[in-house]
A and B are shown apart, each in its own frame.
Chain A
Amino acid sequence: EPEVTQTPSHQVTQMGQEVILRCVPISNHLYFYWYRQILGQKVEFLVSFYNNEISEKSEIFDDQFSVERPDGSNFTLKIRSTKLEDSAMYFCASSIQGAGGYTFGSGTRLTVV
């Protein structure tokens, strides 16, 4: 069964450092998403990406965040200057169509110290 792959599975970084979280969506999917989940809390929408541009973003996705699809397979989330409150599980997801079911990656646990 096709999978969404995320790397690394766990990243620890110092406050103020830049991090890049990587995702390889399912190859024939067209819509890509980043979500985050602070431990024990709800899953929060960050951004959706279609046709090489951001289609929607939430209020969480401020200037510290950016996304990129640098080649035909990777989809990255960059946090420029991490804060303690950025510590969370970050999930990448993809779907074949905008209103379709999402396939989630297994997540990257980001710990900011």
Chain B
Amino acid sequence: QQPVQSPQAVILREGEDAVINCSSSKALYSVHWYRQKHGEAPVFLMILLKGGEQKGHDKISASFNEKKQQSSLYLTASQLSYSGTYFCGTAGTGNQFYFGTGTSLTVIP
């Protein structure tokens, strides 16, 4: 049920780009992306609905390939504030909703 994310962890220098992938074995209705700082609650970044949607939020964007049951989060020109654990969350046709395995992102100066 749980979506699988890759990579598990990534370390970037400020200004570098990163891609985080999320993949599900089940059919997806929507994909959410969240960022969680240590000791804090997850914070909603964006949601993508089915149909090949892409979205952007500042220098963070995402795509959703419904056919492949995958989503990718793109972080461009990373900043120190981007550090945290990123979770995708996927919903099926009901109210089932599961978070992915998580990707730890560390941005260093």
Contacts and interface: CB of A to CB of B under 8 A. Distances in A.
Interface in B18-65: 29-30, 32, 36, 40-44, 46-47, 49
Contacts, number: 56
A80 to B, nearest CB: 24
B68 to A, nearest CB: 20
B42 A91 contact: yes
Q: Is the interface of B mostly helix, strand, loop or mixed?
A: strand
A16 interface: no
Q: Is the interface of A mostly helix, strand, loop or mixed?
A: strand
Contact of B42 (A43, A44, A45, A48): A43
Nearest to A102: B44
B16 to A, nearest CB: 26
B84 interface: no
Interface string A69-113: 000000000000000000000010000001111111111000000
Contacts of B99: 35, 42-45
A42 B41 contact: no
A56 B98 contact: no
B87 A42 contact: yes
A99 B32 CA distance: 9
A50 interface: yes
Nearest to B87: A43
Given A44-B99, A45-B97, A99 B47 contact: yes
A103 B3 CA distance: 20
Contact of B97 (A33, A42, A50, A104): A33
Given A99-B91, A107-B41, A42 B32 contact: no
A48 B47 contact: no
Interface of A: 31, 33, 35, 42-45, 48, 50, 55-56, 91, 98-107
Interface of B: 2, 29-30, 32, 36, 40-44, 46-47, 49, 87, 89, 91, 94-102
